[in-house]
Amino acid sequence: MHNPLSSGVPNSARGKVLVVGSIGIDCVKTPLGEANDVLGGAATYASVSASFFAPVLLVGVVGDDFPSAYLDLLASHGIDLQGLQRANGETFRWSGFYDYDLNQAHSLDTRLGVFASFHPTLPASYLDAEYVLLANIDPELQLEVLEQVRKPRLVACDTMNFWISGKRDALVDVLGKVDLAFMNDAEARQLTGTMSIVKAAREILRMGPSYVVIKKGEHGATLFSATDTFSVPAYPLEEVPDPTGAGDSFEGGVLGFIAYSGDISEHGLRKGVVYGSVMASFNVEEFSLRRMLRLSHSEIAARYREFKRLAFFEALEDAGDLEAL
């Protein structure tokens, strides 16, 4: 895939992003509409998003009811599907709805289907992946993937309330083994029992990761490390038809960009978080993955510039009017 963000480095020479997580079929209702039996899953959103920046290796399972058109769609984005198993049984299914507070997904039904008995076996070609995204799924499966990869440069994870309450110990184990943890504000509060997002982030840092990104939906995201705090706004959209997958496409953008740039310093992560916000802002413009599937690199680059403008302000010495106060 030609990439105008590129400095001439072919996609094949970039770091690879291994993504594990749910791949499934969603039924979603929001105040602006609904979509039934559409392509969803955390790993799906994250993979498609990351594929705009770097090669993606997908790990997961689908049932024999999973439409082959959805597989074709992932393959058409250059996503490597050798690590995607097809099992007898039902594909993962999630149904949920959003009220006017789009930051809060209400799950109506979560059916793990073939994920309940899934154990990932990574193909040999996946073992040397440089970047690993443990997207939302059972933390025990996240651990199984981590046990197999050889020497990744950066490992990131995500989770949600379902696993924080259901598999807390395994999740804490995962957090002890990753470099970067993604969580939304409600999840960070639930995990740490702390109201303050800043205190919650510090507590999660103490559990292991060097970086924590707290996602706050329409209020943007904040990156925390021991020495740095960086906030990026959300893109001001007038309408958000479907926030599903915002977090996952955010993470795919962060990991994809880091794989593209190879920069795992604080500086590189800051840029990654902006690209993550860019990708999430496109994702929520339409239901399911519809917007992502017709997104272009030039649109990504243009929105990155808009983010720069959105968050830019003068240095104090250039502001000029302080003396006049």
Q: Does 245 bind ligand AMP (CB under 6 A)?
A: yes
Enclosing H/E stretch for 273: helix 266-283
The residue assigned the tokens 């899953």 is: 41
Least distance CB 72 / ligand AMP (angstroms): 19
Q: Which of 40, 60, 113, 276 binds ligand AMP (CB under 6 A)?
A: 40
Binding mask 92-131 for ligand AMP (x = CB under 6 A): --x----------x-x--x---------------------
304 near ligand AMP (CB under 6 A):
no
CA distance 30 to 17: 31
∠ CA 12-255-289, nearest 5°, is 90
Nearer to ligand AMP, 164 or 264 (CB): 164
Subset of 159-198 contacting ligand AMP (CB under 6 A):
160, 162
Ramachandran category for residue 209: left, alpha or beta (phi over 0 → left; psi -120 to 50 → alpha): beta
Q: In the bound complex, what is the minimum distance in angstroms from residue 125's beta carbon to ligand AMP? A: 25
Q: Which of 136, 190, 277, 281 binds ligand AMP (CB under 6 A)?
A: 136
d(CA 230, CA 26): 33
Number of residues located near ligand AMP, criterion CB under 6 A: 19
Q: Which residue is nearest to ligand AMP (CB)?
A: 40
Question: Going by C-beta distance under 8 Å and a sequence separation of 6 or more, which residues neighbour residue 273?
Answer: 213, 221, 223, 230, 232, 254
Residue 317: CB partners within 8 Å, gap ≥ 6? Answer: none
The reply to whether 247 sits near ligand AMP by the rule CB under 6 A is yes
Tokens of 84: 């995607």
Task: Tell me the sheet residues that pair with 110.
Answer: 94
Q: Which residue from 3, 16, 35, 41 is in contact with ligand AMP, where contact means CB under 6 A?
A: 41
Answer whether 21's CB lies under 8 Å from 46's CB: yes
Q: Is 276 in the site for ligand AMP (CB under 6 A)?
A: no
Give me the least distance between CB of 266 and ligand AMP, in Å please.
25
Between 15 and 21, whose beta carbon lies closer to ligand AMP?
Answer: 21
Task: Output the DSSP codes for 80-139.
Answer: EEEEEEE-SSPPEEEEEEE-S-TT-EEEEEEE-GGGGG------GGGTT-SEEEE-SS-H
Site string for ligand AMP, 17-36 (x = CB under 6 A): -----x-x-x----------
Looking at the Cβ atoms of 55 and 247, the one nearer to ligand AMP is: 247
Contacts of 230 (CB under 8 A, 6+ apart): 222, 223, 266, 269, 270, 273
Of 6-14, 29-37, 240-248, 262-270, the window that binds ligand AMP (rule: CB under 6 A) is 240-248
Contact between 49 and ligand AMP (CB under 6 A)? Answer: no
- Of 246, 255, 284, 300, the one binding ligand AMP by CB under 6 A: 246
For residue 139, the minimal CB distance to ligand AMP (Å) is: 10
Interface residues with ligand AMP (CB under 6 A)?
22, 24, 26, 40-42, 94, 105, 107, 110, 136-137, 160, 162, 244-248
